[in-house]
Amino acid sequence: MDEKFQLCTDWVGDIPDSASEAVSQPDVTISNFQEGGSVLPNTTTDQLNLLSVERGSVSPKARPAKWLHLLSIDGGGVRGLSALCILRKLMEFIDPENPPKPCDYFDMIGGTSTGGLIAVMLGRLEMSVDECIEQYLILQDKLFRRSQHRPVTARSTVRPHYDHVALEQGVKDLLRSRGLAEDTLFRNTNEIPCKVFVCVTSAGSAMTKVLASYYRRRGSAEVYREAKIWEVVRATSAASTFFEPVTIGRSGRRYLDGGTGANNPVFVLWREAYDTFCQSGRLEDDLNCLISIGCGIKSFKPSGENDVGQLTKTLAIIATETEETARRFLDSRPKLYDTGTYYRFSAPSVGDISIDRPEEKGVIFQLTDHYIDSKEVQDRMLLCIQKLVQRVRTFWYH
């Protein structure tokens, strides 16, 4: 085993071979573990399955005091590949030979725009990160076909540039490849799902809305009952700069993506988690780990009206607001960082790549790898992993 994993933990005693064996041993206590450790030295698929057992069949009283895991994914067009690379490295740190699925580690995943697409693939479709990257590469080529594209110039205005039919068909093809009907509903009635939401904008009010795989008091029951997966992906990806709005439900509600109001959905994730999980009145009392992943930090700054068209300025503003949201969230809850509960990852310079240039995927991979390989990021990731796997360990004192 890699030395990085050895320093994280030491196991004292025998590791149960399966989920059923683990939960059938009433004499297993937290004393089986040394304090300060987190990463299990011989992780297996059976042991990872304990996560779903904990979420679904153990009463809240049996949970550890800190149990909730949340994941937020920014919007960013083709730069979503950078977010996936970061998440893949986190999963590889847990088990390099058999990286687990994020849906087995997070209770709620939320995203905006292409971050919403990723959230749906990871959480609702329960895909591994590698599977998600493979399908993401296929989808982005379909999303940004340039046959109908008008080049961006200084006189460009914000209007649709791409054909939404290609996006719809790409998502339906993905569903069929997963053995699902193309009209599969977004709502998830499984007993132990990873809850998923995407941020959208109401075309009528320009307000940020949430489409969720779970029932929520704040939302429309009609949309919850009727929204299909492909419609939800279309809605969160329907940036007014690129695609037409999408209509969901019999009442004809129209949605655009949430990028102009919640491109970094971390505040929305906090509210959704509070409404869905919080019983104590303070989400901090239940929260064990919150990870926010960006699609790259932008170094470019608009220089003026004569040099940058309206479309380019709009995208630059969104990129700036994304990092500003991350700063405001940290400023509003500094103890989350101090206690090792909140982690933000986003690769510098990736934000300079246009969100509709799939041919730049090689550059995105290269810049993100350079970011991940830095000692500072590696150290933060190791601390983050200690929090993620802590719930597997603490569950065994049941």
pLDDT per position as a tens digit, 267-283: 999 999 999 998 778 99
Global pTM reads 0.77
Torsion of Cα atoms, 372 then 374 then 377 then 381, to 10°: 70
pLDDT higher than threshold 70 for residue 336: yes
Mean pLDDT of 311-336: 73
Mean pLDDT of 375-386: 96
pLDDT higher than threshold 80 for residue 265: yes
pLDDT higher than threshold 70 for residue 304: no
Predicted confidence at residue 53, as pLDDT, reads 38
Q: Phi/psi of residue 192, each to 5°? A: -130, 60
State the average pLDDT for the chain: 75
Give domain limits for the chain. Answer: 3-58, 59-392
- Residues 33-70 have pLDDT tens digits of 333 333 443 443 444 444 443 444 345 555 666 889 99
Mean pLDDT of 240-252: 68
Predicted confidence at residue 47, as pLDDT, reads 43
Q: Which residues are catalytic?
A: 113, 257
Burial 214-224, CB ≥16 within 10 A → b, else e: bebeebbeebb
Predicted confidence at residue 257, as pLDDT, reads 57
pLDDT higher than threshold 90 for residue 25: no
Q: What is the CATH number of domain 59-392?
A: 3.40.1090.10
Predicted confidence at residue 61, as pLDDT, reads 52
The span from the CA of 346 to the CA of 328, in Å, is: 16
pLDDT higher than threshold 80 for residue 3: no
